Structure 1
């Protein structure tokens, strides 16, 4: 059974290991690089966890994925750093992580949850669309040769 939990600053070693694994496995999906983040000192990892809301999916086989949600001053949230471990793909782990991000957003009364996805990443777009995300029409450059498209989820009125 897969469980999702919010990490805290004490979990920095686990967070570091999973984040570095994500950058090694799927470098095209992130704006950062493995080499850049391997150089981070422990206080950087601890600071990230203290300032962000990072959820870890734990499967019977170990870490299954990770996602971070940031709250913006304009009352919206941003989903960043989403990754599912290869062994956990196709097993609903991505759905659990997106649901955790949406629940966190709703609990705080944020008006919208946005994210950026690399153009052409159909698997990710389908995952987000299943949870009510849609393209906004906004794009931005990503890694060289790969643009990003913005998607957003607006909660239904209560």
Structure 2
């Protein structure tokens, strides 16, 4: 089965919004933002988030999303974020396809190192990232919304 992953732009704001809000409702502990915060965004804010200069946003149908960008404080590394797949669509390779799209984007951007944060207890995500060559760096930080939960930095390249 081939999974179609599509890169999004500002005109796709409704699709990104709908899946992003579903992700925040399903797994609020996994994200640095909240459903209440992003549910209040207007069209202009969603469109701005999807501008090409703000990195990659990709969608696998209505079943999953991933984002990637190059933060100023990462020494040129790409950071992945917003990875999520609908619970009823998990186990079908959607996460692998989304991750492959983000890694392809990083390569197109000429970036060798790709990083991401994974929270304590999200073993399924950690295993996915390890399959794609990510390794734990030993760096941790408190989760932005719950300082009792640690995030672990993983890196590839």
Q: Normalising to structure 2: TM-score of the pair?
A: 0.92
In the other structure, the counterpart of 2:96 is 95
Equivalent residue for 1:64?
Answer: 63
Provide the aligned length of Structure 1 versus Structure 2: 150
Question: 5 Å matches for 1:6-155?
Answer: 6-50=7-51, 51-58=54-61, 63-73=62-72, 74-142=75-143, 143-144=145-146, 145-154=148-157
User: 1:86 deviation in Å?
Assistant: 1.0
When the two chains are superposed, the root-mean-square deviation of aligned CA atoms in Å is 1.0
Residue of structure 1 equivalent to 2:3: 2
1:52 Cα deviation from its structure 2 partner: 2.8
- Paired with 1:10 and 1:65, the residues of 2 have a C-alpha distance of 18
> How many angstroms does 1:146 deviate by?
1.1
Unpaired segments ≥5 residues, structure 1 = none
Q: Deviations over 1:104-152 (max 9, x none)?
A: 1111110200000001210000000000000011100003221100001
TM-score (norm 1): 0.91
Compute the displacement of 1:2 (Å).
2.1
How far apart are the structure 1 equivalents of 2:121 and 2:22? 22
Shift in Å, 1:76: 1.4
